[in-house]
Amino acid sequence: MTNNAFIALQTLANASATGRSLPIAIDSAPRWSGVGFSLLGQRFVAPIGQVTEIMEVPVSTKLPGVQTWVIGLSNVRGKLLPLFNLGRYFGGQMLGHKKNQRVLVLETDVLYSGLVVDAAYGMQHFDMHNFHVGTADVPEQISPFVEGQFTSGSDEVWNVFNVSALAQDNKFINASI
């Protein structure tokens, strides 16, 4: 019985030695990933680490004495989530159907907020060689929060939106009237 086990193991070892090798690693361009969304008719992408969740716009309660871009408070899984109309924050209006609007949830040690945007496109991936510094064609009020742009294979421009910079903006932090 012991010889049969040894022979079986030897047969397996020989078979694996003559098997195909692993594919050779191909050099590929470094990739960047983020969460895509639209705002004021333009496409944006936020770094993946800055957005913790995408959700439909929940029911909320209006708050007195706040800026017009503050939508209100919503109870999301037992936590109070302040909601902000990002289009209105930048001086514009939301575009498209309300059913397409989504909330980008930001959660850090000091901030838990929801940014309502025109639409969300989920994960977007870009080759780093398609990144360009600059804010061409971005409205002036949004450009301080844009780090650059990616172009996709179809020549679509995706502006890289720095959510962390927005969370540190005095106007955003002080939403009271």
Domains of the chain: 30-170 (2.40.50.180)
CB 95 within 8 A of CB 40: yes
Please report the pLDDT score of residue 135 as a whole number. 82
Residue 17: per-residue pLDDT: 67
CA neighbours closer than 13 Å in the CB half-sphere of residue 58: 21
What is the predicted pLDDT for the residue at 1?
Answer: 55
Q: What is the pLDDT of residue 6?
A: 85
What pLDDT sits at residue 19?
59
pLDDT at position 142, please?
95
Burial class (CB in 10 A: 0-12, 13-18, 19+), 55: middle
pTM assigned to the model: 0.80
Give Cα separations from 169 to 15, 33, 41, 162 (angstroms): 64, 24, 23, 11
Closest CA to 119 of 141, 151, 96, 138: 96
pLDDT at site 123: 95
Which residues of the chain are under the pLDDT cut of 70?
A: 1-2, 17-27
Report the C-alpha gap between 6 and 96 in whole angstroms: 70
pLDDT of residue 111: 83
